[in-house]
Chains A and B, each alone.
Chain A
Amino acid sequence: VSTQSTGPLHGYHTMFAIARSALRAPVRRTFAASASASVHTLPDLPYDYNALEPHISAEIMTLHHKKHHQTYVTGLNAAEEAYVKAPTPKERIALQAAVKFNGGGHINHSLFWKNLAPTGSPETKLSGGEFKEAIEKAFGSVDAFKKELNTKTAAIQGSGWGWLGYNKATKSLEIVTTANQDPLLSHVPIIGIDIWEHAFYLQYKNVKPDYLNAIWNVLNFKEAAARYKEARSSS
């Protein structure tokens, strides 16, 4: 068993290296005669399906985790298996969209569950410290940060994600968005907000701003602060 650092999957490995910490399941790459690829699994939700009520309903959490995220995991395993077996560059290129879509979906949702926390839990409080100060410095105030993240996330046409990201080059916190299930590669993900309709539709229908306001009650600022600290120290 070995992980390849060169060859046709090199760029793909690099992409995943950036988001590796998001995927707790071990990623084994075997290039034996059977050419079986890695096996990703659906991570457990760190809380009960109803823990984010009334802000995000149990029905949404259940479907989102058990159906949507599971589908990305299943799809990723299938896409990677096919990719490893594909004998030509052309065939591998044809499979890249499926790897990107399902892989991105798995990465993004794995990050997402951890950046949410049960309603009323201490993790949902943004307490004073390095992270809060950094936000105030970057955006003027926590309110201004919230407004910018919500506005930019709501403005996404179609499906995608709004992020608070850490820019390692400029050592600053910035709001960025990604389309579809593209993983965030330009920044270290600190907070991600899923704005695909499946993330909110059953409860909020077309009223995205209501969902975006509600989710602030269940963002895990402790996790965000930890990600920020790690991003800063690994600059």
Chain B
Amino acid sequence: MTYELPPLPYAKNALAPHLSEETLNFHYEKHHRGYVNKLNQLAAEKPAWAGKSYEELIKTESGVVFNQAAQIWNHTFYWKSLSPNGGGAPTGKIAELINEAFGSFDAFKEKFSAAASGHFGSGWAWLVRDDNNKLQIVSTHDAGNPIKDGHNPVLTCDVWEHAYYIDFRNDRPKYIATWWNLVNWEFANSNLKP
């Protein structure tokens, strides 16, 4: 079994002008695909873990194997957390849950943005839920993934510099502000416990 790069949910220019086609080209074709290629290279040695799902690898592996599997999973989740039709205020169940957990959408937006822009170094900002759909904001470092800690991810924002450097240079806060124009509330709702 070889690991495959899941298709991008939209065309590479679909998130412009917020995120450029150039960014998606490099981020998806080089970084995301690079992790898949590397995992396949490692799996070719036929180690015991070869063929396991990304979730399993995330939960049971460490080091370079974990890094590839987690980053493949993280990026797939990131593409889905964005949508050409995204942005604006949340709708549906997620809107209620946000108000319950954070008081208001604005309060949630402020906290999530702070977590994303304030993270030292490479990593990810996540909205996660527990089994009761209680929402929480968590940050992971480098390739870290919150399912390893038993969280259920709802949305994510990539804060590795490669995610924003082409379009925003060093201005991570401006990138985060742009992320809010693309956030996929439909996807967020689909990650809640029914």
| A residues lining the B interface (CB < 8 Å) | 63, 67-68, 71, 97, 101, 157-159, 179-181, 196-198, 201-202, 205-206
Contacts and interface: CB of A to CB of B under 8 A. Distances in A.
12 contacts: A63-B170, A68-B170, A157-B142, A157-B143, A158-B160, A159-B122, A181-B121, A196-B121, A198-B165, A201-B162, A201-B165, A202-B166
B162 A181 contact: no
Interface in B141-164: 141-143, 160-162
B105 interface: no
Interface of B: 26, 30-31, 34, 64, 67, 120-123, 141-143, 160-162, 165-166, 169-170
A198 B159 CA distance: 12
A158 B30 CA distance: 16
Given A181-B121, A196-B161, A202-B169, 11 more contacts: A67-B169, A67-B170, A157-B143, A158-B123, A158-B142, A158-B160, A180-B120, A196-B121, A197-B160, A201-B162, A202-B166
Contact of A197 (B34, B67, B162): B162
A68 B121 CA distance: 12
Contacts, number: 54
Contacts of B143: 157-158
Given A67-B170, A206-B26, A97 B161 contact: no
A206 B142 contact: no
Contacts of B142: 157-159
A102 to B, nearest CB: 9
A197 B161 CA distance: 6
A205 B170 contact: no
Contacts of A159: 121-122, 142, 161
Nearest to A71: B170
B115 to A, nearest CB: 14
Nearest to A197: B161
Contact of B170 (A179, A180, A198, A206): A198
Contacts of A197: 122, 160-162, 165
A135 to B, nearest CB: 28
A13 to B, nearest CB: 22
B141 A158 contact: yes
Contacts of B169: 63, 67, 202
* Most chain B CB neighbours (cut-off 10 Å) among A67, A158, A179: A158
B141 A201 contact: no
A205 B161 contact: no
Given A197-B160, A198-B170, A101 B120 contact: yes
Contacts of A201: 161-162, 165-166
A205 B121 contact: no
Contacts of A206: 26, 30-31, 34, 162
Contacts of A101: 120-121
A157 B142 CA distance: 7
Nearest to B144: A158
A94 to B, nearest CB: 13
A180 B121 contact: yes
* Most chain A CB neighbours (cut-off 10 Å) among B67, B120, B161, B170: B120
A224 to B, nearest CB: 26
B149 to A, nearest CB: 18
A97 B78 CA distance: 27
B122 A97 contact: no
* Most chain B CB neighbours (cut-off 10 Å) among A67, A180, A181: A180
A114 to B, nearest CB: 22
A107 B23 CA distance: 31
B30 A205 contact: yes
Contact of B26 (A71, A179, A181, A205): A205
Contact of B121 (A63, A71, A158): A158
Contacts of B121: 101, 158-159, 179-181, 196
* Most chain B CB neighbours (cut-off 10 Å) among A63, A67, A101, A159: A159
